[in-house]
Amino acid sequence: MDEKDWLILKTLNEERNITRASEKLFISQPALTYRIKQLEEDIGITILWRNKRGVKFSAEGEHLVTYSLRMLKELQKVKDHVVNMNNSTEGTIRLGVSSNFARFSLPDILRDFTSKYKNIQFSLYTGLSPEIVRMLEEEDVYVGIVRGENKWNEGQLKLDKETICIISKFPIELDKLPSLPRISYKTDSELQRLIDRWWQKNFSVPPNITMHLDNIETSRNLVLNGLGYAIIPSIGLNEVEDDLFIHPIKDSAGKTILRNTSLIYKENSLNFPVVKTFIEFMEEYYGTK
């Protein structure tokens, strides 16, 4: 088995479908099927079965997938180390970023960074903050940008703080919130708990949630059209602040509730000049030096 075989097994594991896997790998279905049969003959096992729903790995096949994932990760580490052995600012940074930060803030950062460091590229992954922490722990990425309070005991750089805001198209009285239509959206569990705790401390009845959505942008756009109010982090407000009524939520002492955005990394990743360069750039960009 070699790198191509590891990648085939990784892709089949992700897609669980020969057609989709072959498209993703840019090879024909017959060529993919032939290579799997060759592997099965060489090793003397059945790797997978095909059925109407796609493919299913045997116990031995699952073991090979685990092996392939580990080998691909180790190979990437070797490549990263070799590229960085000459201590030059060129190479690829594997970066994991909270989805909303990637949507609203990251484009400007990457534009400014790549204009300054033209030989550094990014391999970018996005997701909820807990997912980014997990990716960093497993070294799928070397740098993470997360929001909220996340357990991390290694390198950490506080970038910014944001408020959590009630937004509405028209003026509203906050004590009337339980009777007004609320637009909810999918977010990470830490932010959801923060909002829920705030609500429970201020109201004795549950919110009147009339819409359940999958992202902040859709929620914000529906609020802009007067269909209800939403409680969202201020990162999603920059472009529409003048068109909305905004009320930052406060704790029982009347203090505005703030949420951190942090850059996190493993200390040993500072051995990579490109990673160190990016962290130093972020310190300067956010004025945290």
- Phi then psi for residue 170, to 5 deg, are -125, 160
Q: 189-202 and 129-137 are packed helices; what angle lies between their axes, rounded to 10 degrees?
A: 140
pLDDT of the residue at 88: 60
SS percent in the chain: helix, strand, coil, step 5: 50, 25, 25
CA 129 – CA 119 distance, rounded (Å) = 28
| Domain containing residue 58 | 3-82
* Tens digit of pLDDT at every position of the chain (289 positions): 888 888 999 999 999 999 899 998 889 989 999 899 989 998 999 999 988 788 889 999 999 999 898 888 887 777 766 666 565 677 888 999 998 899 889 999 999 999 999 888 898 999 989 899 999 998 889 999 999 888 888 999 999 999 999 999 999 999 999 999 999 998 888 899 999 999 999 999 999 999 999 888 899 999 999 999 999 999 888 766 778 899 999 998 999 999 999 999 999 888 888 899 999 999 999 987 6
Residue 65, domain member (yes or no)? yes
Closest CA to 195 of 179, 206, 211: 206
Residue that finishes a domain, picked among 24, 57, 82: 82
pLDDT of the residue at 86: 60
Task: Give the Cβ contact number of residue 196 at 10 Å.
Answer: 12
> Do 114 and 234 belong to one domain?
yes
Asked if 121 contacts 150 with a C-beta cutoff of 8 angstroms, the reply is no
Residue 77, domain member (yes or no)? yes
CA 31 – CA 27 distance, rounded (Å) = 7
pLDDT of the residue at 83: 62
> Do 232 and 196 belong to one domain?
yes
> Do 196 and 63 belong to one domain?
no
* Beta-bridge partner residues of 125: 96
Per-position DSSP letters for 60-110, written without gaps between them: HHHHHHHHHHHHHHHHHHHHHHHHHTT--S-EEEEEEEEHHHHHHTHHHHH
- Gyration radius (Cα) of the chain, Å: 24
Residue 248, domain member (yes or no)? yes
Q: 106-116 and 273-285 are packed helices; what angle lies between their axes, rounded to 10 degrees?
A: 120
> Do 77 and 144 belong to one domain?
no
pLDDT of the residue at 146: 94
- Specify the pTM: 0.72
> Do 279 and 162 belong to one domain?
yes
CATH number at residue 155: 3.40.190.290
Q: 3-15 and 29-43 are packed helices; what angle lies between their axes, rounded to 10 degrees?
A: 110
> Do 11 and 41 belong to one domain?
yes
pLDDT of the residue at 74: 80
Q: Name the domain count of the chain.
A: 2
> Do 78 and 110 belong to one domain?
no
CATH number at residue 63: 1.10.10.10
Residue 87, domain member (yes or no)? no
3-state secondary structure of 219: helix
pLDDT of the residue at 121: 87
